[in-house]
Structure 1
Amino acid sequence: MARVYATAAQYEDYTGVTPAPVDIETRLRRASAFLDAQVLRLCAYAVDDGGLPSDPVVAQAFTDAVCAQAEWGVDVGDVTGAAAVGWGDVEIGSVRLRRSVTATSGDQSPGRQIAPAVWDALRSPDLTPDLFVLGAVAT
């Protein structure tokens, strides 16, 4: 089962936006899965039986990181990467944009980028090396 590191109430506290978007539970689930795949699987931290961080400081950092990623998705309007796929030429007035459709994947879209505030949460000075190591890879 997928781990979800934040709730709608925590999102509202983090962003100050009340009410949260109607699809916030889906966005938080997707943001949690995205950060698990892109960042958290490469880190070292203690977990409970459910795979969630067992230390409250680490758990709060994960909550903040997921809320930041979900907020980023709300701000850019694309969490799947689909908005960055499929256009070759676009003209708006005198502005013309061109790119190869075959060389484009959704991975380059803003919605598939790690939000800058995620790094702020995961580089907090409260996350001492005995609690959390960012980018640790072990065999």
Structure 2
Amino acid sequence: MPDVGDTVTASLTVDPFDGTTAAALSVTAPNGTVTAPATSTADGGKTWTAPLTYTAAGVWRLLWTVTGTGAGVEPELVSVAPLPTVATEGVSYATTTDLANYLQAAPPLNAAKLLARATELLDSDFLKAAVYAVDGDGMPTDAEVVKAFADAVCAQVEFWGEVGEETDISGPLQGVTIGSVSLQYGAGDNRSGPDYYAPKLIRALQSLPADKLRWVAYTGGC
């Protein structure tokens, strides 16, 4: 699969062919722009080529039109990937370096996305019942809390790597036992167990003393 920015040589082989064979290429970009790269042949009409640069990620449509001997059309769809990025893909309590050190191994290439998703999970499913010191951006300021939150999201990413990443849980978080607070998951028949979450995530939160992370009553919901 090509990446955005790749320059390739589009190619078409015509059979049968002779001196009357000619081939033209029409290229439709993902945004609908149509171009017609110059085509050429070096073997009398059997093989036709054209230079092509993929300037955007998405699905490109290539349409070869052959006239003369071998006349016909040859459509082709090409999926072009965006360039990989190392930019942070959302707010996260841990960096990819934190994750590499936690795993003691190279992190996955989508580590930034997974850490951001684990942070969202931690915020929405656990920290609604928590009180802790934050800065103007809502990020923890106490060193112990910073470390515990980083360990928690790294643990969740490690867990996803072992059991597979889920996109949602089967019910809203009514709670989890952390310290003296006992909460429940889901409601009624939709109740789900805490095995969706990494056990190490819960232990990381439980490791914090009450003066660093205080838990309040929380009945669930969004």
Any unmatched runs of 5+ in structure 2? 1-89, 171-189
Runs (4+) of structure 1 moved beyond 6 Å?
none
User: 8 Å contact 1:5–1:66 — kept in the other structure?
Assistant: yes
SS in 2 for 1:74: helix
**Which one has a bigger Cα radius of gyration?**
2
Q: TM-score, normalised by structure 1?
A: 0.70
SS in 2 for 1:22: coil
SS in 1 for 2:99: helix
User: 8 Å contact 1:81–1:108 — kept in the other structure?
Assistant: no
Equivalent residue for 1:128, pick from 202, 209, 212:
209
Aligned to 1:6: 94
Over 3 Å counting, the alpha-carbon distance change for 1:130 and 1:66 in structure 2 is same
Q: Any idea what the Cα deviations from partners look like across 1:72-106, whole Å, max 9, x if unmatched?
A: 11111223159x9xxxxxxxxxxxxxxxxxxxx8x
Over 3 Å counting, the alpha-carbon distance change for 1:30 and 1:3 in structure 2 is same
SS in 2 for 1:35: helix
Letter in 2 for 1:116: P
User: 8 Å contact 1:35–1:66 — kept in the other structure?
Assistant: yes
Shift of 1:108: 5.5
- 1:132 & 1:28 partners in 2: Cα distance? 21
Shift of 1:3: 3.1
Aligned to 2:125: 38
Shift of 1:60: 0.4
Greater RCO, CA 8 A, separation 6+: 1
Any unmatched runs of 5+ in structure 1? 85-104
Equivalent residue for 2:139, pick from 52, 72, 88:
52
In the alignment of these two chains, the number of paired residues is 111
The structure carrying a bigger strand percent of its residues is 2
Alignment map for 1:77-116 (pairs within 5 Å) = 77-81=164-168, 113-116=196-199
SS in 2 for 1:71: helix
Shift of 1:130: 1.4
- Percent identity of the aligned residues? 35
Q: Does 1:16 align with 2:104?
A: yes
Aligned to 2:83: none
Q: Any idea what the Cα deviations from partners look like across 1:2-29, whole Å, max 9, x if unmatched?
A: 53101110001111122x1011100000
Q: Any idea what the Cα deviations from partners look like across 1:54-73, whole Å, max 9, x if unmatched?
A: 10110100000000011111
Q: TM-score, normalised by structure 2?
A: 0.45
Question: Alignment RMSD, CA only?
Answer: 2.7
Shift of 1:116: 0.4
Letter in 2 for 1:35: L
